[in-house]
Amino acid sequence: MCICINCRHIHLCKTYEFIKKQHNNNKINKKHNGFIPINTIIVVNINKHDLNIYLDWDLKECSSFIEQPGKWLSLL
């Protein structure tokens, strides 16, 4: 699971926007995303189901992470 959902910077983070795009979540965020986190590690898992291949993108580590549980709920 992506650690972004509990981060204080989720609304402004460019890395989170990138991961959302990789998940084909093209919801337009009206807020300006200008925060660039430092020392991030993105993990991509490759899953195969029948003849289809799916990529699952997750942020596993970020030095800019500041925990604020439930912050993502305000994105809905």
pTM of the shown model: 0.75
Indicate if the pLDDT at residue 75 is higher than 70.
no
Q: What is the pLDDT of residue 10?
A: 87
For the segment 9-35, the average pLDDT, to the nearest whole number, is 79
For the segment 47-62, the average pLDDT, to the nearest whole number, is 92
| Contact indicator for 65, 43 with CB cutoff of 8 Å | no
Question: What's the count of helices (H) and strands (E) in the chain, helices before strands?
Answer: 1, 2
Q: What is the pLDDT of residue 60?
A: 93
The residue range of the domain holding 13 is 3-75
Q: What is the pLDDT of residue 5?
A: 86
Number of domains in the chain: 1
Indicate if the pLDDT at residue 28 is higher than 60.
no
